[in-house]
Chain A
């Protein structure tokens, strides 16, 4: 069974731009969660989608948004990028409220 895939793997943007990251979950998994990883703040929960609905949201500004499609694929969008948004963005999928399996991440650099 294929694992969680994330595209793109690397991204360079400039301040003020927006970015969209994509995540394809493991087949049969309906929950997709997003996390931001930075050296200073560690791993922080962004949001979770289940059956196309946002089920949980972390403490991030409204510039961070996401959505989930009927095939469970998910995208997250960051608008008006700031230097501090440079991070590794990790997506995880799960079948139910249990084990989350992570993708390789998208490394975003904001210049």
Chain B
């Protein structure tokens, strides 16, 4: 069964500093990988996705993520954090064939931004 692990429950970062959120997945084949962001009381907004090809993918709001097959990781990065980036971030995976559209999510990482 596929699974996703986000080792960090909370991360505090200063405004202007860089941010990296870790994500490890378990899946038998090449998965489709996603990062979503959720602000308090809101739904999930898609930041970026990886299906195939270039392992460094760019997303919205200045975020990027790198797929590393050897490490089963899909870490999210942002070079300079803004106060508006304070939110909860979820990594997710969906299987390619036969799994329909079932997203499996990690537990999430809550990001706090210090002024």
Q: Residues of A with Cβ closer than 8 Å to B? A: 4, 31, 33, 35, 42-43, 45, 48, 50, 55-56, 58, 90, 92, 94, 97-105, 107
**Set of chain B residues within 8 Å of A31, measured between Cβ atoms:** 100-101
**Set of chain A residues within 8 Å of B41, measured between Cβ atoms:** 107
How many residues of chain B are within 8 Å of chain A by beta carbon? Answer: 24
Q: Residues of B with Cβ closer than 8 Å to A? A: 32, 34, 36, 41-46, 49, 51, 90, 94, 96, 99-108
Closest Cβ–Cβ distance, residue B115 to chain A (whole Å): 27
**Sampled A-B contacts (21; CB under 8 Å):** A4-B43, A33-B101, A33-B102, A43-B108, A48-B101, A50-B101, A55-B101, A56-B101, A92-B44, A92-B101, A92-B103, A94-B101, A97-B100, A100-B34, A101-B46, A102-B36, A102-B43, A104-B42, A104-B43, A105-B43, A107-B41
Closest Cβ–Cβ distance, residue B57 to chain A (whole Å): 12
